[in-house]
């Protein structure tokens, strides 16, 4: 299967700053990438779906201006949390699919906003 | 709207005992169901999917459309099965997955 990495694995930032999280597909042409958010003891919630070279599709209730997604290449997608606030503290996980529809998950990024 | 329910947050069984992790779903169409597993300090990974009708690591799951269930079963639990298990649903023609809240399985030696 695909190897998916995320960077950073853990980030702490001050309220009001922006944070960028990278998702890389190391050995796989990821035509579609997904971003999930997972609050403690809760399930993964899909935030958005992005296809390479096109705008991301956001799920209902997810602010596109706050969570900026860029899927610039077949191996990289970034999620930028703009003007982060403590309620944005969560575990952010990306996944990728390619020619098959199997989703391969990254290890996740823990964001803590002070 | 679709929904995936895993009624048990925690499940403990003794080694060698049978285990069943429950998953129920609601979806008006014809869904595709998956089980994902997350071992300690590892990422989420696919365990099995209903269309494959295969057994992975001794686990099986049968889609019961009448009961809208996709329970995960294993006849003899092993210690290495201890993990977090998520049931997930994909709508017809869609790419994205909807996850249940997960069940943490602990196999007691």
Q: Which two tokens stand for residue B87?
A: 């049931």
Rounded-to-integer distance, Cα A91 and Cα A37, Å: 6
The first and second tokens of residue A16, run together, are 């009001």
pLDDT per residue over A29-45, tens digit each? 888 999 999 988 788 99
Whether A79 contacts A49, CB under 8 Å: no
Bond before A68 cis per omega within 30 degrees? no
Tokens of B101: 């809240």
Res A93: pLDDT: 96
Chain B residues with beta carbon closer than 8 angstroms to that of A41: 9
Residue B1 pLDDT > 80, yes or no? no
Q: Does B99 touch chain A (CB under 8 A)?
A: yes
Residue B27 has pLDDT above 80, yes or no: yes
Domain architecture of chain B: domains with CATH? 3-108 (2.60.40.10)
Q: Which residues of chain A, if any, have pLDDT below 70?
A: 1
Share the mean pLDDT of chain B: 92
Token readout for A109 is 């990024």
Give the residue numbers in A contacting B (CB under 8 Å), as ranges: 1, 4, 32, 34, 41-46, 49, 93, 95, 97, 101-108
Among B80, B107, B109, B87, which Cα is nearest to B12's?
B107
Judge whether residue B53 has pLDDT over 80. Answer: no
Q: Give pLDDT, residue B101.
A: 92
Q: What is the tens place of the pLDDT at every residue in B32-44?
A: 999 999 998 889 9
């Amino acid at each position: 299967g695909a190897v998916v990495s995320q960077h950073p694995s853990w980030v702490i930032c001050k309220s009001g700053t922006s944070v960028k999280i990278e998702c890389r597909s190391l050995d796989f042409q990821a035509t579609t990438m997904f971003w999930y958010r997972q609050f403690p003891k809760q399930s993964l919630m899909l935030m958005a779906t992005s296809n390479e070279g096109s705008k991301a599709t956001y799920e209902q209730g997810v602010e596109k201006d706050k969570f900026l997604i860029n899927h610039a290449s077949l191996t990289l997608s970034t999620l930028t949390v703009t003007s982060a606030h403590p309620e944005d503290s969560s575990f952010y996980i990306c996944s990728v699919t390619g020619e098959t529809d199997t989703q391969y998950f990254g290890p996740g990024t823990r964001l803590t906003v002070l | 709207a679709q929904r995936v329910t895993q009624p048990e947050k925690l499940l403990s069984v003794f080694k060698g005992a049978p285990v069943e992790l429950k998953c129920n779903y609601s979806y008006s169409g014809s869904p595709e169901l998956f089980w994902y597993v997350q071992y300690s300090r590892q990422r989420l990974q696919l365990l099995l999917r209903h269309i494959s009708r295969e057994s992975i690591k001794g686990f099986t799951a049968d889609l019961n459309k009448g009961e809208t269930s996709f329970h995960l079963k294993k006849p003899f639990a092993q210690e290495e099965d201890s993990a977090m298990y998520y049931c997930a649903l994909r709508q017809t023609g869609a790419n994205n997955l909807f996850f249940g809240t997960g069940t943490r399985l602990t196999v007691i030696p």
